[in-house]
Structure 1
Amino acid sequence: MAYYRKCIKAVIEQLSKFRPEKDSPEQFLEAESLVLQTLSPLKRAFILEVLSGCLEYQKLLKIVVDAFYVRDGQFCLWADYSLFEVICYLATFQLEELGFQLFCEIIKSQPPDKMRKFLGFFFNPLHLCSWIKDEWSLVYETAHVKENWIDPLMRWQPEVQELINELEAVSANRAHLTKAKAKVTEPKEFKLTAPRPRAIPVPEPVPVMAKPRPIPQSTYQLPKEQQLLEMTKRYNRWKAEELLLKANLEELRCAMPRSRGEPPKQGSKKKLRFQVPPRIRRTPKLTFYRPDNVPVKLNAAAILREGALYQRQVEKELQRVDKLVDGAGDFSEFLEWQKKMQAKDREEQLAVEECRRLQGKLSHEEAILARQNLVQENKQKAEQKKEETVELMQQYAERRLQEERSLKELVEQVIEAQKNVKVAQTKLLKGRRQAAQEVIEESRGLLERRAQEAKEQQRQRCALSSQLRAMETRPTRKGKLVDLTQIPGYGLEGEMSIVELRERLALLKETQQRTQEEKRDQIIQGKRARSQELQDTVERISLCRAAMGRAAALRWEEKKGAAAARGSQDKRVLELRRRIAEKAGERQGKAAALRVSAPRAARPKPRAQLEAQHWLELEQSRERRLQAVQREGPARRLEAA
């Protein structure tokens, strides 16, 4: 029985560690198998099998155990929750494999009173055939639940009932024995010893270290050779940027106007080594002007893209002319008819949009009238509320005076009680102060003795450290001198001295610098060729733009003439405007009546006036915009296109 008690205890401990919201069953079982490697193979296999089964059928087990705690187990501990899950799993899924004899031994190894209650609840035929079957059928199929779990439990019910009777007899015998052996407790005095006073620890002295040597400034500075190399790199970079800038100013002037002054002459391409770059001088006066036609600055990709577009348009126009020469038909009449129909549709659409706008304005005026009516009703309700609040405030003031009187009486009683407490506190504080002074005097003597011992130890340490530093500062002879012009003589092929190696490296650097300058010249020439191609493309683009601008101006003139010919307005628009004017007059009359009926101090504008002003400003801005568009000529439209 002790063997099975240990196995069940191990299963309960591992099962209580499992957290379904954080852990997964597979990873949890792998981790626990590594933990249980020290046990015997049979015991380990039994524990893992029961633990995996409880995790797999946890939903079914939880249904039974939760119902047990609600109905028959109100006085059971929640710490035994995992124990009841394990017993429920063994009875439902492992009773056939274990056998009834082994199952009885496992049950008897546990507390009999708990097992009697749980088995009597679980093997009750009324529970098994009613709600347990229904709840399990929600998780699994009804036929599977009845054939595999409910029917076997009903077959084992008579044997389990006999086991429950045995557990009741055992619990009754234990209760009788505990009642017979009860003894009356005899009180004994405590043997207490006076505690020793706690010693105050003496703080350890902070060791005084010698001041270290300062770090030399050469640590934070670069060597002279590296500084010269950096200066040379900056000068060469500046020189290359200046050359590229001059080349761009000379060649790429396609999209920007030319400046009045001439570009400065290029300097000679001499190699300058280890020279400081000249300072950039600022011009004394800078003139800023704003040209009428600001050019659009395009990059190379945009220029090539626009040139290709115009080239395709020209090719398409040439193909159309060739087809007309060959005898193809012309769609000019159809296009004119199409333009007329589109203009007619556009007029109808504009009329519909104007009607919508005016309908919105009309609904806005009607909303303002409704809001004014609501304001009048709210004023009447507010006056009634004010009268009611005045009565409530008077009642509240009377109630408040009564509460303040009762609170004053309570405060006087509390003050008298606090006076007696303060006298006792002063006596207790005096006794504690005397005891604290005695402890402080004793601690001072201990601190003085400890400080003297620490000073002596510190003096000895300082003497030892000074001796060690003196030994470290003895002069030592360093390595021998090296001749840089001497060949080492290791017998290697192509062996040379350090001086010769440096000279060869300098020659190699000169050749590399020469090749870099040649490559730079080639790159500049290629850029000049590309810039010339871009300039030619920009000239073609400007010609195409001028032609398209003239065509757009002609179309605008035609459209303007057609718009002037259509001067009539729609009847629906006129009717809506008339209704809006009537509503606006009615609204203004009501607003004036409200102002006369209830004069008050200066208040901010109501929301209705602000919205009316907003609509008026919007209408004025639209009219100004239309007048500006009519005043502008075709040239302005051409620039916008």
Structure 2
Amino acid sequence: MSYYGRCIEIVIEQLDKFKPEKDSPELFLEAVSTSLQALSPQKQAFVTELLSGCLKYRKLLAIVVDAFYVRDGQLCLWADYSLFQVLCYLATFQLDELGFQLFCSIVRALPAGKTCKFLRFFFSTLNLCSWIKDEWSLIYTPAHVQENWIEPLLRWQPEVQGLLDQLEGGSAHQAALSKVQAKLTEPREFSLTTPRPRAIPVPDPVPTVAKPRPVPRSTYQEPREQQQLQLIKRSNRLKAEELLLLANREELRCAMPRPHGGPPTQDSKQQLRPQSALPRIRKTPKLTFYRPDHVPVKLNAAAILREGALYRRQVEKELQRVDKLVDGHGDISEFLEWQERMQAKDRAEQLAMSECRRLQGKLSHEEAVLARQHVLQENKQKADQKKEQTAELMLQCAERRLREDRAMKELAEQVAEAQKNVKVAQMKLVKSRRQIVQEMTDESRELLQRSMKAAEEEHRRRSELISQLRALETRPSRKGKLVDLTQIPGYGLEGEMSVAELRERLALLKETQKREEEERRDQIIRDKRTKSEELLNTMEQISLCRMAVGRTAALRYVGTEAFKLKTQMQLLGTQVSRTTFCHVTPGN
């Protein structure tokens, strides 16, 4: 067990040293083979085979190991990445060659917790048949993946699951023994000194706050102007009520009938005076109404437009109401009758539906009983078929085990023969690789010589160019330069022009911009004028609407007051007629 554990440790160390972005696998294997000369030939062959296989199939192994770290191995260390790669390679490519017994010994030589967790994740049927197969099929052909890798893994799954159960049971038993044998710690009390009693703190002095100013009385009182307005309103109302009462009494006195149609006598005056409690009518001065000193608030454009829109909506609503009344939407009794009929119809339908659901429930209950009986019969038939299939599978498993035992014996013989010829093959491989390295060094030396020659030629060419530039700089040149503003530079650009033409175009552009600004200013002035005209029109409409609303309110108020006067006159007339009748009857 320690033999295979040491070999796998060497492979993990070499895999940790390999950098795929810098090292090539062939050169790395040669360097490793030279460093493993101290090992025995059998160990050296096992290590090189494991290392070459892990480097060859590192893409396939990386897919499984990365998924393990994402899903089940979130608590595992990234330092064990190479260990999981080696386990995945052994289970996928070497399990059939090594045999299950040798594989078990290799797994037992490794840490039990890590290996069990990874192998249980890797040999899961759901993972093998779903995403592992799909990801490997993107690199190799699906038929090759299914035939050479997935099917052997599924075939070895039961044995590997049993091995994992044994390892987990043994680790749990060892953990239980270690827990029992562990020495318990005995707690001791701390030798702490008793703290001193705390002194009672001196209370802080209460800070003196400055006395606040009292709230002024004007805060809770109405303004003087508002009080004066209320007094004036109240006095005006009292004066109006007195005038109305005097006018009513004057009308009643004029309407009182005289006895026998002649002038009133002294007796009749004496008889009428105690019963008619009408006061004397006094002449009152003209009414004076209060006119406010403040000018009404000037409305802004938004307020004017808002009030105009309000009156427009009111007019539209009134027109719609009139149209509905013309169309005959006033009576609601027909709608109530229709509503009662529809509610009665809905209640009848609900009763029918409830009865239908009750019958359907009975039918579904009977159908469920029949279906349960049918399912029981089908389950009995399936159980009988399953028993027959299990018996056949047991026979097939026994035959397969016999065949596998024979194959394992043949494989062991082949491995023994191959181990004899390993040393010869290794010597041939080392010679061929040395020859390849010698050829590569010769080619690299030739490439270096060519690059050196090219660098020398480039340096010579640059030195010649520098000498020519320096000679050109030493030549005398004219400092002054004649400039023609009407001449085109001739750089070959699109839309090229002279300086004079450019100045003219700039002047024309400024004139057009100035003209556009003036036109825009005129347009703004026109827009302001139109807006002010619209506001004036809306103000006129609002004033008309207000006058109409005030007129309707005044007419409504006058009508109500006239109705009240009429009713009072009728009541007073009835009282006067009764009194006159009572006084006239005794004279007759």
Structure of greater Rg: 2
Q: What TM-score, normalized by structure 2, do the two folds share?
A: 0.34
